[in-house]
């Protein structure tokens, strides 16, 4: 059984994330979307809220599991019996950072493979940071995040 892990902060989950999740779920027997617990980041949503939102927006994809982790990704991969990391790439700047992460993960565990999914053209500009910035100024979030996420963002900003 091929189990892949798609790690990230998902603060909040965007339509770009969902695009990668849907596409990767077709390639692997199981896709674990793993929310990174990073106490040094000032997140809009708690880890529990991010996990809940991901569960809601992926509920129609049978082979997707939502989880969270802290520490090294390779340790988490070992825990869930996976050797495959899924990462989405938008721009060249993403590639530089993600390539560096893939190399260090490979050094720490030579059995690990990182597979990159290129973003769909319509999501090349989209990031969680941009979504939060647009929301802070009252901009339109339709087509950027699922409706439930829009609702929760504006609840947070009240």
- The residues annotated as belonging to the active site are 17, 41, 90, 128
> CA 75 to CA 143: how far, in whole Å?
35
90 marked ligand binding residue: yes
Q: Check the annotation: does 65 bind a ligand.
A: no
123 in a labelled binding site? yes
Whether the Cβ atoms of residue 94 and residue 6 lie closer than 8 Å to each other: no
Residue 93 among known ligand-binding residues? no
Asked whether residue 128 is marked as a ligand-binding residue, the answer is yes
User: Is there a binding annotation on residue 10?
Assistant: yes
152 in a labelled binding site: no
Show binding-site residues for ATP.
Answer: 9-10, 17, 88-90, 98, 123-129
Show binding-site residues for substrate.
Answer: 9, 41, 73, 87
């Amino acid at each position: 059984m091929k189990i892949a892990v798609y790690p990230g902060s998902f603060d909040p989950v965007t339509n770009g994330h969902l695009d990668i999740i849907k596409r990767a779920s077709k390639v692997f027997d199981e896709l674990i979307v793993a929310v990174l617990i990073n106490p040094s980041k000032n997140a809009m949503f708690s880890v529990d809220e991010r996990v809940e939102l991901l569960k809601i927006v992926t509920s129609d994809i049978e082979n997707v599991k939502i989880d969270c982790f802290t520490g090294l990704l390779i340790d988490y991969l070992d825990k869930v019996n996976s050797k495959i990391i899924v990462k989405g790439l938008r721009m060249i700047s993403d590639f530089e950072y993600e390539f560096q992460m893939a190399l260090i993960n490979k050094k720490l565990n030579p059995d690990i493979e990182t597979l990159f999914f290129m973003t769909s053209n319509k999501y090349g500009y989209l990031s969680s940071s941009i979504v939060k910035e647009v929301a802070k100024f009252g901009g339109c979030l339709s087509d950027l995040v699922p409706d439930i996420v829009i609702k929760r963002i504006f609840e947070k900003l009240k």
